């Protein structure tokens, strides 16, 4: 009798991380893979074609689950190995049985799968871990939210004290505390942005208009820092679908980094363009600032990675998350001492 598993398929089935035993209508072994020959201590050539019942000394036909599947078509899950192969000395496997049917649905055989419990457990653990992490994230967001209120109070009183202590030796303590307070508030704001769900208000909007708005928004800060900003918008850019408030945040974070990289008199360029072939719009934000070495580029999207004294290390991560959520792409080119180009591609449907 010819075994089911020959040559190529033999090899494939031997590499399965599960044990496999196939019997035909007459109850003869038609396939057995390496895991199962290993488990039961038989050789494939010696058992192929022979009655399963004889090989494994199955006494009562009625109680053997594989034979039950063969006769009734009923399939079983989560069986002990003993339920299929009596006297088998193994645990760590969970067994399921399945009927093998022809095209007309007639049972022509049955098979048993021996799955290592460890693998299932691993999967189960991974799911539990993911759930725990999601819960932790939610809790953290709620907690951070709660921290905001007392901070506002502390901030208010510090400002009062700052006035009282003006000109005294203690003034610098208060100033330091207020600076740190700004930092903590910035961290909280960014953390909350990060924990916000990805998709909120999606609508069609014009990217050129958004960039114009952003340019006006950052104008005063640029003036304060004595920086030049240039915006060049390409004509005929098609509208894109997305959350323009979130995208505004994404671009602001990138622009803010550009500002931080520049010194007085530095220039920041923003440019929009449209690729009609590949159907995406592109925003390029270029600074001629300090630039980044390879190590910094590799780390810049990691949470809390910052090279700044008062940085949060969340800005780029937030931008990337928002752009990812829009099906877009962010690309960074940078050279130390020369500057940085951040390109954001967003799809147009």
- 255/252 Cα distance (integer angstroms): 5
Contacting ligand ADP within 225-254 (CB under 6 A)? 253
Contacting ligand ADP within 4-43 (CB under 6 A)? none
**What pairs with residue 98 in β-bridges?**
111
Does 287 engage in binding with ligand ADP (CB under 6 A)?
yes
Does 289 engage in binding with Mg ion (CB under 5 A)?
no
Sign of the Cα pseudo-torsion (42, 47, 51, 54, in order): negative
Nearer to ligand ADP, 279 or 308 (CB): 308
Does 258 engage in binding with ligand ADP (CB under 6 A)?
yes
Q: Which stretch binds Mg ion (CB under 5 A): 98-106, 174-182, 308-316, 320-328?
A: 308-316
- 200/251 Cα distance (integer angstroms): 17
Nearer to ligand ADP, 76 or 305 (CB): 305
Binding-site size, ligand ADP (CB under 6 A)? 23
Inter-CA distances, 333 with 254, 274, 287, 311, 346, Å: 13, 20, 11, 21, 18
Nearer to Mg ion, 244 or 257 (CB): 257
Nearer to ligand ADP, 76 or 269 (CB): 269
Residue 58 CB neighbour total at 10 angstroms: 19
- Using CB atoms within 10 Å of the CB of residue 118, give its burial: 0 to 12 exposed, 13 to 18 middle, 19+ buried: exposed
Residue 287's φ and ψ, nearest 5 degrees, are: -120, 155
Q: Which of 249, 281, 340, 345 binds ligand ADP (CB under 6 A)?
A: 340
Q: Calculate the dihedral angle through the C-alpha atoms of 153, 156, 157, 158, rounding to the nearest 10 degrees.
A: 120
Contacting ligand ADP within 133-152 (CB under 6 A)? none
Residue 97 near residue 69, CB atoms below 8 Å: yes
Does 316 engage in binding with ligand ADP (CB under 6 A)?
yes
Closest distance of CB 289 from ligand ADP, Å: 5
Nearer to Mg ion, 199 or 304 (CB): 304
- 188/194 Cα distance (integer angstroms): 10
Closest distance of CB 319 from ligand ADP, Å: 8
Nearer to ligand ADP, 20 or 314 (CB): 314
């Amino acid at each position: 009798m010819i075994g089911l598993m020959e040559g190529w398929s033999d090899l494939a089935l031997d590499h399965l991380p599960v044990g496999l035993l196939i019997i035909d209508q007459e109850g003869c072994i038609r396939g057995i893979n390496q895991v199962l020959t290993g488990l039961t201590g038989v050789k494939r050539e010696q058992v192929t074609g022979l009655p399963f019942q004889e090989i494994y000394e199955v006494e009562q036909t009625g109680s053997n689950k594989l034979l039950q599947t063969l006769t009734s078509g009923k399939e079983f899950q989560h069986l002990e190995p003993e339920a299929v192969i009596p006297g088998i000395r193994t645990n760590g496997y969970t067994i399921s049985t399945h009927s093998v049917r022809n095209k007309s649905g007639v049972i022509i055989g049955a098979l048993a799968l021996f799955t290592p419990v460890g693998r299932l457990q691993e999967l189960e653990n991974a799911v539990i871990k993911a759930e725990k992490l999601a819960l932790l994230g939610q809790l953290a967001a709620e907690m951070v939210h709660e921290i905001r209120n007392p901070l506002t109070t502390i901030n208010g009183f510090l400002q009062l004290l700052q006035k009282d202590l003006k000109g005294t030796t203690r003034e610098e303590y208060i100033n330091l505390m207020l600076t740190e307070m700004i930092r903590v508030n910035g961290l909280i704001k960014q953390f909350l942005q990060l924990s916000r769900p990805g998709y909120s208000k999606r609508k069609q909007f014009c990217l050129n208009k958004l960039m114009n708005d952003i340019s006006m928004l950052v104008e005063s800060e640029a003036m304060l820092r004595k920086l030049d900003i240039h915006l060049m918008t390409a004509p005929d850019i098609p509208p894109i679908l997305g959350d323009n408030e979130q995208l505004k945040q994404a671009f602001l974070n990138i622009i803010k980094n550009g500002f931080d990289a520049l010194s007085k008199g530095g220039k920041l360029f923003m440019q929009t363009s449209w690729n009609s072939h590949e159907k995406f719009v592109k925003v390029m934000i270029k600074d001629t600032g300090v630039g980044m070495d390879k190590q910094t580029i590799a780390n810049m999207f990691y949470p809390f990675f910052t090279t700044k004294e008062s940085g949060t290390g969340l800005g780029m991560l937030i931008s990337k998350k928002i752009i990812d959520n829009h099906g877009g792409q962010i690309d960074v080119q940078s050279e130390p001492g020369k500057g940085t180009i951040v390109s954001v591609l967003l799809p147009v449907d």
